[in-house]
Amino acid sequence: MPYNTKPIGVAYADPQLDSLSSTTAAISGAATVGSIVNGTSASPITVTSSTSINTFYGTTSAASGDTRLNYSKLTFTSTGSGETLRAFSVVTGAGAAAGGTINGAHISLSINGSGTISGAANAIRATLGGTSTNPGGTIAALQLDSDFATGGTWTNASFIRCTNSGTGVIDNLLHLPTKGSNLMFRDKTSAAVTQVIKIVSNGTPYYIMVSDAP
């Protein structure tokens, strides 16, 4: 089965897609139906200067409903695992990110010019839900992992880092639901400090006081 060996459009051929293998037999593990393979781990697309290897641009003037530039849905029907989207950046060069940043994923929302928001807008929205009333397992809307080898020093690392990168300043760390009895945010009863959680600001450690009683 050919893989994007023909020019796209009338007068434009994408050189990255033209460089793909033309047969499924040459692409280890490639599916035979509905697949687009753009490089492999054994034969990746290589670039020698800064560029965007794949790009999608769009605009919408829809007055209602949802517009999405990309929509992907993967349904698990057996006991396997995985994800709908896997973004993976790897650093092998010394002194990387000189004057910049390297990210596994960079997701932004910009509100520009005369643009305003009448509803809600989020740079990242992570939703955990479903119709199951007893899903089991260990589940969360957001999981933050560390996966370093042993023997290192990680005093400059943290699970969450907050920065004001522009000239405007956001001074709220969290926006919590309305306070209420037995809710996430509630009045204390007999709480007394029993433990602390370490945070760091400009290299100085501080400690958030927590209690083992509400």
| Strand ranges, E, within the chain | 195-201, 204-210
- Spell out a b/e string for 191-214, using b for 16 or more CB atoms within 10 Å of the CB, else e: eeeeeeeeeeeeeeeeeeeeeeee
In this predicted structure, what is the pLDDT of residue 5?
53
The tens-digit pLDDT sequence of the chain (214 residues) is: 445 555 555 555 555 554 444 434 344 444 445 667 788 889 999 999 999 999 999 999 999 999 999 999 999 999 999 999 999 999 999 999 999 999 999 999 999 999 999 999 999 999 999 999 999 999 999 999 999 999 888 889 999 999 999 999 999 999 999 999 989 999 989 889 999 999 999 889 999 999 998 8
Count the alpha carbons within 13 Å of 165 in the hemisphere toward its beta carbon: 5
Runs of H (alpha helix) within the chain: 15-18
CB burial readout 151-161, b (16+ within 10 A) else e: eeeeeeeeeee
The pLDDT score that the predictor gives to residue 178 is 93
| Model pTM above 0.85 | no
Q: CA–CA separation, 77 vs 153, rounded Å?
A: 42
List the beta bridge partners of residue 204. Answer: 201
Cα Rg, the chain, nearest whole Å: 24
The answer to whether 187 and 180 are in contact (CB under 8 A) is no
